[in-house]
Structure 1
Amino acid sequence: MNKPKLWEDELQYRRTILRVLLVVIILFCSLASTTQFKAGNLLYGLLEVSLVGMAIGMLVIHQKTPNLTRWSAVLLFFCFNTILIGIFNQTTRSFLFNWLCFIPVLSYLLMGLRTGFIFSVVYLVAGMGLLIWRLYLPAPDVTRNALINLGSCAASIWAMSHVFEAKRASMVGRLQKLAETDSLTGLHNRLHLDSIFQQLTKGQRGQPTLIGMLLLDLDKFKTINDSYGHDAGDQVLMTVSTLMTDICRGGDWAFRFGGEEFCLLIPGVSSEMAIQIAERLRESIAATLVNVGEHQLRVTASIGVANWPMDGAGLSQLYKVADQRLYTAKNSGRNRVMGSDYIRSN
């Protein structure tokens, strides 16, 4: 079974950005902390040393942690607060305020649209607020023009970061939809099977649940294509997919594997219940006439039923058992359901 890669690539994209940021933090803060200690800024030097330690720790775990967004939020929380403390304690000659412009870029890249927006709002407003406060000190070290320029620059970068991330997230969403969906029937495709199966085996709150797999193949489908054309075959496939969708409950998953082969993953059912659902589906398909031009076509299906974990510990074993039972149903005369010790025809 092939495993879909697109959503894994999305996660890897953020891991790569985080890794680059961690290396930059280690190099920059190591140098900056030395400078701070020499200048007598003990507090800020210790903060930067702490950031180096945190970055080294995260560099070790970032490739394997499942909580990447949470760790990214923790890192940015400490980074951004370090910037705010610097703006509050040090003069503007340190130019720490320049780092405010990086806040929206890093927030959106590492945490996505919603959380990135929240971080950008909180820390840009806080940073600009501190600079405005410095403007009204008895001996201000910042000017109005400087604040206007900085605010305009930060707002522009924020707007561009937001638009970029919104467009990128929308594009990734569309690509994910294309990657996991059969274009003809609208059902999930084979590439999505493994990830869905892994989710279902975990069950709710980490508790495993029984899973029924129905592997369905339309009988003599090639004859329909040869006799009536591929448009007629497509109409049959779309009709069968509709019947499968109609029989699905809220948590069930329907797939088209290509050609005339379909699959249903049904969580929370016993072997007997899975066979009953397969029977209802087989009967529904056999009773449905497909209108193709002047013709009314009747199609039947053979179904192999397997159950997790009784028939296999993993997806490959489960699929193999269901496929063998489907093959048995075909060889037994077609239009049949085959389970572990059950075979029935119309």
Structure 2
Amino acid sequence: MKPSKHPDLGTTLEQSRSGLRDNHRRSLTRLLFLVTATALTVFAGLQLLNGYPWVAAAELCASGLLFYGVRCLQTTHRLQQWIYAYLVSLFSFFIVIMLLPEASIAAFVWVLLMPVLAYLLLGKHEGMILSLPFMLVGGVVYYFFLGDVGSAHRMIDLLNMILCGGLMQVFMHMYEVRREEAEQRLVDMAQTDALTGLANRANFQSTLARTIAECERSATGFAFVIMDIDHFKLVNDTLGHDAGDFVLRRIARCLTERLRATDFVGRLGGEEFGLILRDAKPADAFELMDELRERIAGSEVAYGNAGIRVTASFGIAQWPDHGREAETLFCVADRCLYSGKRAGRNRVAPAGACELTTATGSVSGGIG
């Protein structure tokens, strides 16, 4: 089994804080740092000319820190802390600028940028938690900035700011909610076998690689199993592919009902399935698969007026006894599987066994 060329989408989604992956958030944050630092340098000169040297000094200090951050963000593992520090400082700076005695009314436009940056860099939950308090404070400051709001003109200005700010907050939140739902659907489609609802091959490969890495760290083992339905082509040729699809769905349900919560199963393709049995010793894995074999062989799938009986063969490899790499485990389990098939099918074939000792049922795969 070749390792997947694509990262585990589910894990990537869980680790992402927003619609941007960490590498994209890192690039965007560096760009924001650079633009903000350059702008603060310019504003510092203007504040100095306006007679606010303390504001100019603060802006120059912040500019220097941001230029330093542009370098650090290339390799830092504390991306989230840098983003929080940037947004809290930036939003606080917006409030301070609004509180200046000679503040321009244009300064309050920056309030509308708060939810955009917060949701973009932090995602739905954290973006709302950070941006909402700052926007409320900005609205209060704007209220006092207007002074007497008894006149219709002042009231229109206040309502415009409240309406725009509120709509910006709501729209960003709704966008993030819908984006997360759409992204989750795409991930589910990319990782799920459409016919059986099990994990597809790419998802199974990613899970196997992750299981190997986790077991390397914890010094535990697991069993890797390949299962193949015997004489499955006979079902398709006799009753049609719809019947074959129906059988595959029933087998998938049987697997998920019998396996433990810690186990993992996926459809590798066609009538072949893969299973990962966490913390299963060889004897336990053999017993579980033999029980599953008997359950499949002993059940009849009702399809229309026909009763379909199928059997399955299993090949088992143990990590790390039979290999430490995914490809090695796959090869060992695959050889065991086809050894069982050559010996009569409807068998569980563990690696390392010179002779297959499991009980053999009727050579089936037929239709009853």
Tell whether the 8 Å contact from 2:37 to 2:62 is kept in structure 1 after alignment: no
Structure 1 distance, partners of 2:156, 2:261, is 59
Tell whether the 8 Å contact from 1:329 to 1:338 is kept in structure 2 after alignment: yes
In the alignment, which residue of structure 2 is the partner of 1:140? none
Structure 2 distance, partners of 1:108, 1:78, is 16
Tell whether the 8 Å contact from 2:112 to 2:168 is kept in structure 1 after alignment: yes
Tell whether the 8 Å contact from 1:201 to 1:208 is kept in structure 2 after alignment: no
Structure 1 distance, partners of 2:335, 2:79, is 41
Residues 171, 79 of structure 1: alpha-carbon distance in 2 compared, 3 angstrom cutoff = same
Displacement of 1:35? 3.5
Displacement of 1:124? 1.3
In the alignment, which residue of structure 2 is the partner of 1:172? 183
Structure 1 distance, partners of 2:85, 2:342, is 60
Local SS of the residue matching 2:273: strand
1:328 aligned to 2:339? yes
| Higher alpha-carbon deviation: 109-118 or 215-224 | 109-118
Gap runs ≥5 in structure 1? 138-142
Displacement of 1:4? 4.5
In the alignment, which residue of structure 2 is the partner of 1:214? 225
Tell whether the 8 Å contact from 1:215 to 1:261 is kept in structure 2 after alignment: yes
| Higher alpha-carbon deviation: 221-230 or 30-39 | 30-39
Structure 1 distance, partners of 2:132, 2:113, is 13
Residues 199, 93 of structure 1: alpha-carbon distance in 2 compared, 3 angstrom cutoff = same
- Measured against aligned partners, the alpha-carbon deviations of 1:38-64 in whole angstroms (never above 9, x if no partner) come to 612212321232233223311x127xx
Match of 1:48 among 63, 73, 98: 63
Residues 69, 255 of structure 1: alpha-carbon distance in 2 compared, 3 angstrom cutoff = farther
Residues 197, 132 of structure 1: alpha-carbon distance in 2 compared, 3 angstrom cutoff = farther
Residues 264, 235 of structure 1: alpha-carbon distance in 2 compared, 3 angstrom cutoff = same
Match of 2:275 among 223, 239, 264: 264
Tell whether the 8 Å contact from 2:33 to 2:69 is kept in structure 1 after alignment: no
In the alignment, which residue of structure 1 is the partner of 2:30? 22
Displacement of 1:83? 2.6
In the alignment, which residue of structure 1 is the partner of 2:239? 228
Structure 2 distance, partners of 1:51, 1:89, is 23
Structure 2 distance, partners of 1:312, 1:73, is 44
Tell whether the 8 Å contact from 2:204 to 2:265 is kept in structure 1 after alignment: no
1:13 aligned to 2:27? no
Displacement of 1:135? 4.8
Local SS of the residue matching 2:20: helix
Residues 327, 81 of structure 1: alpha-carbon distance in 2 compared, 3 angstrom cutoff = farther
Structure 2 distance, partners of 1:71, 1:284, is 55
Residues 73, 320 of structure 1: alpha-carbon distance in 2 compared, 3 angstrom cutoff = farther
In the alignment, which residue of structure 1 is the partner of 2:4? 2
- Measured against aligned partners, the alpha-carbon deviations of 1:145-197 in whole angstroms (never above 9, x if no partner) come to 54433332222222221121111111111111111111111111111113322
| Higher alpha-carbon deviation: 81-90 or 336-345 | 81-90
Tell whether the 8 Å contact from 1:202 to 1:209 is kept in structure 2 after alignment: no
Highest CA radius of gyration, 1 or 2?
A: 2
Gap runs ≥5 in structure 2? 149-153, 361-368
Displacement of 1:144? 5.5
- Measured against aligned partners, the alpha-carbon deviations of 1:14-41 in whole angstroms (never above 9, x if no partner) come to 3325423421331332242244156122
In the alignment, which residue of structure 1 is the partner of 2:284? 273
Once the two structures are superposed, the pairs formed by residues 195-206 of structure 1 within 5 Å of their partners are 195-203=206-214
Match of 1:61 among 68, 75, 87: 75
Tell whether the 8 Å contact from 2:43 to 2:59 is kept in structure 1 after alignment: no
Tell whether the 8 Å contact from 1:3 to 1:194 is kept in structure 2 after alignment: no
| Higher alpha-carbon deviation: 153-162 or 229-238 | 153-162
Match of 1:181 among 172, 175, 192: 192
Structure 2 distance, partners of 1:55, 1:125, is 30
Structure 2 distance, partners of 1:34, 1:215, is 65
Once the two structures are superposed, the pairs formed by residues 243-254 of structure 1 within 5 Å of their partners are 243-254=254-265
The percentage of aligned residue pairs carrying the same residue is: 28
Number of equivalent positions: 337
Structure 2 distance, partners of 1:224, 1:267, is 33
TM-score normalised to structure 1 length: 0.87
Tell whether the 8 Å contact from 1:254 to 1:262 is kept in structure 2 after alignment: yes
In the alignment, which residue of structure 1 is the partner of 2:359? 345
Structure 1 distance, partners of 2:106, 2:323, is 62
In the alignment, which residue of structure 1 is the partner of 2:363? none
Residues 315, 120 of structure 1: alpha-carbon distance in 2 compared, 3 angstrom cutoff = same
Match of 1:72 among 83, 99, 109: 83
Structure 2 distance, partners of 1:28, 1:256, is 50
